[in-house]
Chain A
Amino acid sequence: MSDAAESGGLTLGSGGPGIDEEYPLQAEGLRKAFGGITAVEDASFRVERGSVTGLIGPNGAGKSTTFNLITGMLDPDAGTVTFDGEDITGLEPHAIANRGLVRTFQIARELQDMTVLENMMLAPKGQRGESLWRSVTPGVRREVIDQESELLERVWEVLEFFDIDHLAEEYAGNLSGGQRKLLELSRALLTDPDVLLLDEPFAGVNPSLEKRLLEHIHELREQGYTFLLVEHDMDLIMENCGRVIVLHQGQILTEGAPAEIQANEEVIEAYLGGNV
């Protein structure tokens, strides 16, 4: 296990790019079939560092499958995923997350019977106390406790950043849908990611919270984080994403700036039904 998490200091922003490469996340020829149905077919795309990239497509286009392929929840039948210059295809989800590519889920999956604080404390990497013997051995446990105090400070800072510190002692299962989304994002952030994959982060979120969530995302992007997000709301994607990738029937239809996408005949036909 890696040693100590970064100690002290505000960490928002410290999780920014480590390797100066323009495209930290690249997918090459991804393919995944379930039985006779090919969910993703020869999907290749890349995500620019420091961007908010949108992944759109009609229902069943393969967006969630693509996410699962990237994050190791599913193994692709063919193709490669490269992250920060390394091939991460087929690695276990935890290994991928530890490299700095962290996801959230479409339906917020908070850990219900744990408090918000427990949820948050779970996330940071390199916790010494995750080794059993350190946690129970007298003397050595002191280090664990010290690190716990440091982590708790970080957790409070992130909770305050997202304005959910008043919920700290609440059980996650008691939060509203929007609050859960905030919790998931802040929890993911505590793992010190480089790239965050958000699966429909705005589903079931009321407009004012949606606005706040977007502000947070833009603020974090300015600090150097990269986002790839799946979303249904076209207007939202067009207004907030620097680049957009369009999936259709498991294939990449096109990729480009929002304006290009909106003008693209193919996209309008295949996905927007000519209504935009």
Chain B
Amino acid sequence: MRDDVVARIPGGDTGAIVAVLLVIYAAYVLAGVGLGFSLRGQLNTVATLTFFIGVFAMLSLALNLHWGYTGLFNIGIVGFMAVGIYVMALVSKPLYEAGGASQVGGLGLPIVVGMLAGMAAAALLGLVVALPALRLRADYLAIVTIAMSEIVRFSFLSGDFQQFQLFGERVGFGGGSGLILDYTDPIEAFFSVVGLWDAYLGVVDAFGVLIPTNPKPIVDGLVYGALLLGFVAAYFWLLKRTGESPFGRVLKAIREDEDVANSLGKNTNRFKIKAFMLGCALMGLAGVLWFMRSGAVTPNTFRPRITFFIWIALIIGGAGSNTGSVLGGAVFAALLYQGPRTLKNLIDAVLPSTNAPSGFGPAVAPLFSTLDPAPLLFYTLDSVRQLQLVFMGLVLIWLMHNRPEGMLGHRKETAAGIPLTAQRAQKRQAADGGGGDDE
């Protein structure tokens, strides 16, 4: 049924994505109005929302290549993200200077080089994981990948890698105390490379008309969000082409039945490794883009829960469809990731003067003693952030029961470089002056 809804939106898949984004933004802006946000607050919300939509859409697109197309059960996504940002930091942090804020330096190379290095490192890690694991059944790959992601986290935590010498420079991953990302702000780096940094600063000044005090962080946030959406578009383009090709067709065949693909002469291991490495590189890049502006990273950020967030996003959207992946990422970011916080703020604004009980006991007690549900309600609202995971679980259970194939339904994107339709044959028969095929 929802397929029809999508079909009726003008512009097809792109139209569907744009429509969903518009609805999400409208809801957030309305919520902002309800909260009495200033323009600054509104723009901030939009920037944050765009950021998370961007990163989750990118990551679920990458996961869709692994799981949706090739059937590779990767639950170590966060490990590839961590490798991406850490290697990027290692390459792009400025050289070590005694007395600087950072305990360790980097190689001082441009940020773009760092990003490419991060992608390459994630892809190589993918290769290392894939070589032994792809020969195993799908569920073993899952175990290997999640173990790998924890190994990555513990390696970055380890004192041995806290600092070391590389090419004669004092570099390192900072261990448990984290790594300060003290390179040039990526936005500045980006606009400097294209020679528009002064123009950008001009735009920021012009923005001062709307937001008189310190407009730069706001503009930075919005511009970075827009850049991320650009990356989402690039991922989408790349993966759509990958899927709509003979390469993608073999991946699909591997997902359906690897033995068949193999006995039709396809070297399935090679296809699997290529697809896996490509997906890992994209996950590494997404890791870079997620954390590169966060000022510092610590290994414990990269816990498996992020991996499962991305799985939820992909399941919401519908594995196997690139459009679905983007939609899933957007809906997950808006409803499940950022939604509960916004909801809480909204309710706080509507019911301003409530004092939530300090614990579960005081919250429940009145329910039994005086049948007053209010304290429990307030307590629940107050704990919305902690309850986020519970909401996600509930949504997942509901989805599994009612719509396991995701938002877009059981939709398939044809794995060929050209449309595969029967019209072609009819045309040809007509051209042959052909006698009709009765069958």
Q: Which positions in A face B, CB cutoff 8 Å?
A: 71, 73, 92-95, 97-98, 102-103, 105, 109, 111-115, 117-118, 121-123, 125, 127-132, 135-136, 141, 144-145, 148-149, 152, 156, 159-160, 163, 165-166, 168-169, 187-188, 191
Contacts and interface: CB of A to CB of B under 8 A. Distances in A.
Given A145-B417, A149-B418, A165-B425, A109 B257 contact: yes
Given A118-B414, A118-B416, A168 B425 contact: yes
B401 interface: no
B4 interface: no
B267 A128 contact: no
B30 to A, nearest CB: 40
Contact of B245 (A71, A144, A188): A144
A97 B263 contact: yes
Nearest to B246: A129
Contact of B253 (A95, A111, A115, A149): A111
Given A135-B248, A191-B264, 9 more contacts: A95-B267, A113-B252, A118-B249, A127-B246, A136-B241, A141-B241, A165-B422, A166-B437, A169-B421
B420 A188 contact: no
A179 to B, nearest CB: 12
A136 B439 contact: no
B212 to A, nearest CB: 46
A187 B261 CA distance: 11
A113 to B, nearest CB: 6
Contact of A122 (B242, B249, B418, B421): B249
B91 interface: no
A34 to B, nearest CB: 18
B265 A156 contact: no
B391 interface: no
Interface string B410-439: 001011111011101100100000000101
Which 10 pairs of residues, A with B, have the shortest CB-CB distance? A135-B245, A129-B246, A97-B265, A111-B256, A117-B420, A148-B417, A127-B246, A98-B265, A93-B262, A136-B241
Contacts of A163: 439
Contacts of B288: none
Contacts, number: 137
Contacts of A123: 264-265
Nearest to A108: B260
B338 interface: no
Contacts of B418: 145, 148-149, 152
Contacts of A188: 264
A95 B259 CA distance: 13
Contacts of A141: 241, 245, 417
A11 to B, nearest CB: 15
Interface residues of B, number: 42
B107 interface: no
B291 interface: no
Nearest to B257: A109
A135 B417 CA distance: 8
A148 B415 CA distance: 11
Contacts of A92: 262, 267
B414 A130 contact: no
Given A111-B257, A132-B278, A94 B265 contact: yes
B415 A114 contact: yes
Contacts of A125: 265
A19 to B, nearest CB: 19
Contacts of A113: 252, 255-256, 320, 412
A108 B310 CA distance: 35
Contacts of A112: 256
A97 B248 CA distance: 20
B372 to A, nearest CB: 54
Interface in B215-260: 238, 241-242, 245-250, 252-253, 255-257, 259-260
A98 B263 CA distance: 9
A92 B261 CA distance: 12
A261 to B, nearest CB: 29
A115 B415 CA distance: 9
A97 B415 contact: no
B303 interface: no
A187 B253 CA distance: 13
A114 B253 contact: yes
